[in-house]
Amino acid sequence: MKYFHRTFTSELKGKIHRIEKELKEQIEKLLRENKAAFSKKGLKLEAEFNQEGRDVFQPGYRSSISLGISDKRGDLIDVKIIKIWECEYFFLGMPVSKKNPGSKLFGELLDEPSQEITTELEQWIAEFWDELTN
């Protein structure tokens, strides 16, 4: 869901931080629950919360979570990345790195609830596991 600069509120900031925290905890839980099984198959399951920038309402701030599967050599086999929040300037519908005359500041927040994202990640892991074991 897109948010215009004029709708940036402390409530929205709190919501962003809450979603980031929930999803970070969920990927850590998924990692704990599945890491050993993947390791037994010679694979490495990794999870990460990624954040660029400090202030959620400043251009260039981005947050996401990622789950990745790699082989024992460290070569990436598959990755799932879910963007949580991104804040940037747009000019004529295109992202721009600096504020230009006529550009507007927007933020885009993940639409799905945290539980739905967790379910999606669980399904992604299960599908990969099914392909691996069949």
The alpha carbon of 93 is separated from its chain's Cα centroid by a whole number of angstroms, namely 23
In this predicted structure, what is the pLDDT of residue 107?
A: 94
pLDDT at 90: 84
Note down pLDDT in tens along the chain; length 134 residues.
Answer: 999 999 999 999 999 999 999 999 999 999 999 999 999 999 999 999 999 999 999 999 999 999 999 998 889 999 999 999 999 988 777 777 778 788 889 999 999 999 999 999 999 999 998 887 77
Q: How many domains does the chain have?
A: 1
CB of 97 closer than 8 Å to CB of 89: yes
Predicted model pTM: 0.88
Residues 6+ positions from 5 with CB-CB distance below 8 Å: 57, 104, 105, 106
Q: State the amino acid at position 133 in one-letter form.
A: T
Q: Quick one: CA dihedral 102, 1, 61, 52, positive or negative?
A: negative
Are 84 and 23 in contact by the 8 Å Cβ rule? The answer is yes
Helical ranges in the chain per DSSP H: 10-40, 114-133
Token duo for residue 54: 């400090």
Q: What is the pLDDT of residue 113?
A: 92
Segments forming the whole domain that contains residue 8: 2-133
